[in-house]
């Protein structure tokens, strides 16, 4: 029912600007270079050079090697730097290696760490191992970096597993739970996101603890982003409609959102040539 909400006009612009403020602008490619990250950072700080009123994104999300460049470019701004870690995206490395990578990323100064759970362990029933890894990564993050735990919903197979993995991640100390790496065949969908939001809600109600949510992967159009926000609004309420508690991991989404905002303001359908590609 919730995906059928129809959000128009001022209400839509409100949602779109919120979507930008919540975005983790992401580049996770083998071909990433300092130059690419520099361009992306500028884009994230000032998404629309012709409209200074457009807010900055929440964070830039990169691979560990690119963290120093991202930090340099975003220094003095409100834009955070998030780094993936723990043998992203597969998680298929020994625990010692994954912990060492995390240490390196935190030392380098990343504000946020996006880790992956070991799906091989999870799907073969070794839940305690999955839990333990999260605890140990969280220990390394300590107070310096906040931890997002990617459960990779597209590989988990059932909603029951999504719920189980979410609870495990929260128990292990996650500050945020995150749907996907963006590298799998299926990434963030409304049903899995709802499942995870319900876990966050139940935990909050029973313990008062606040855990954030991040949807990532496959969100390319503004309409989808708005639907995800409606879902948060109607499941967790206004308190969760903030970058401190909700993030959208995306890259091409940003320009689509900018085009939609400009269309609402000018009344004309837009042309991608008028928006910078960084």
Partner 1 sequence: MTERKQDVARRAEKSPLTTAWDYAPAPEARDIVHIQERYGLFIGGKFVEPLSGERYTTIDPAREEPLSEVAQANKADVNRAVKAARGAFDGPWSKLRPSERAKYLFRIARILQERSREFAVLESLNGGKPIRESRDVDVPLAAAHFFYYAGWADKLEYAFPNRRPRPIGVAGQIIPWNFPLLMLAWKIAPALAAGNTVVLKPAETTPLTALLFCDVVRQAELPPGVVNIVTGDGRTGAEIVAHPGVDKIAFTGSTEVGKAIQRTLAGTGKRLTLELGGKAANIIFDDAPLDQAVEGIINGIYFNQGHVCCAGSRLFVQESIYEATIAKLKRRMRTLRVGDPLDKNTDVGAINSKAQLEKIVSLVRSGVEEGAELYQPPCKLPERGYWFVPTVFTNVAQSYRIAQEEIFGPVLSVLTFRTPDEAIEKANNTPYGLSAGVWTEKGSRILAMAQRLRAGVIWANTYNRFDPASPFGGYKESGFGREGGRHGLEAYVAMDDA
Mask 156-195, x = binds partner 1 (CB under 8 A)?
Answer: ---x----------------------------------x-
Of 47 and 218, CB closest to partner 1: 47
Of 55 and 249, CB closest to partner 1: 55
When binding is defined by CB under 8 A, the residue of 234, 252, 265, 274 that contacts partner 1 is 234
Q: Is 178 a catalytic residue?
A: yes
Q: Is 36 a catalytic residue?
A: no
The single residue listed with the structure tokens 């059928």 is 4
Q: Give me the least distance between CB of 155 and partner 1, in Å please.
A: 21
CA terminus-to-terminus distance, the chain: 36
Structural tokens at position 107? 């030392």
* CB-CB neighbours of 189 under 10 Å: 20
Q: Is 214 a catalytic residue?
A: yes
CA 105-111-116 angle, to 5 degrees, is 60
Q: Which of the residues 148, 214, 256, 278 is marked catalytic?
A: 214
Q: Strand ranges (DSSP E) for the chain?
A: 23-26, 59-62, 80-84, 112-116, 146-150, 176-178, 212-216, 246-250
When binding is defined by CB under 8 A, the residue of 32, 100, 132, 198 that contacts partner 1 is 198
Of 28 and 230, CB closest to partner 1: 230
- Can you tell me the distance from the alpha carbon of 167 to that of 80, in angstroms, rounded to the nearest whole number? 26
Which among 32, 108, 44 has a CA at the least distance from the CA of 253?
44
Of 93 and 242, CB closest to partner 1: 242
In the chain, what are the helix, strand and coil shares in percent, each to the nearest 5?
50, 15, 35
* Residue 218 DSSP label: S
Of 220 and 233, CB closest to partner 1: 233
- Can you tell me the distance from the alpha carbon of 40 to that of 74, in angstroms, rounded to the nearest whole number? 10
When binding is defined by CB under 8 A, the residue of 23, 54, 110, 253 that contacts partner 1 is 54
When binding is defined by CB under 8 A, the residue of 161, 242, 270, 276 that contacts partner 1 is 242
- Can you tell me the distance from the alpha carbon of 140 to that of 145, in angstroms, rounded to the nearest whole number? 9
By the rule CB under 8 A, 243 interacts with partner 1? yes
Name the site residues for partner 1 (rule: CB under 8 A): 1, 4-12, 14-15, 21, 45-46, 52-56, 58, 77-78, 159, 194, 198, 233-234, 238-239, 241-245
Residues catalogued as catalytic: 114, 178, 214
């Amino acid at each position: 029912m919730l995906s059928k909400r129809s959000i128009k006009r001022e209400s839509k612009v409100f949602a779109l600007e919120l979507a930008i403020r919540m975005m983790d602008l992401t580049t996770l490619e083998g071909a990433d270079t300092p130059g690419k990250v520099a361009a992306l950072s500028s884009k994230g700080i000032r998404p629309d050079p012709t409209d200074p009123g457009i807010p900055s994104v929440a964070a830039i999300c990169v691979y560990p090697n690119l963290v120093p460049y991202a930090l340099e470019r975003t220094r003095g701004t409100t834009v955070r730097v998030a780094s993936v870690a723990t043998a992203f995206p597969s998680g298929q490395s020994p625990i010692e290696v994954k912990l060492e990578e995390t240490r390196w990323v935190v030392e380098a100064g990343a504000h946020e760490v996006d880790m992956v759970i070991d799906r091989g362990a999870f799907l073969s029933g070794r839940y305690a191992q999955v839990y333990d890894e999260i605890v140990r990564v969280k220990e390394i993050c300590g107070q310096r970096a906040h931890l997002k735990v990617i459960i990779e919903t597209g590989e988990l197979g059932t909603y029951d597993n999504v719920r189980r993995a979410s609870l495990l991640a929260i128990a292990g100390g996650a500050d945020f739970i995150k749907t996907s790496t963006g590298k799998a065949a299926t990434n963030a969908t409304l049903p899995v996101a709802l499942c995870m939001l319900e876990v966050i809600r139940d935990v909050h109600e029973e313990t008062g603890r606040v855990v954030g949510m991040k949807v990532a992967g496959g969100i390319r159009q503004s309409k989808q982003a708005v639907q995800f926000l409606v879902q948060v609004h109607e499941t967790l309420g206004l308190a969760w409609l903030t970058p401190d508690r909700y993030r959208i991991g995306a890259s091409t989404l940003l320009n689509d959102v900018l085009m939609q905002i400009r269309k609402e303001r000018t009344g004309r359908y837009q042309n991608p040539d008028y928006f910078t590609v960084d």
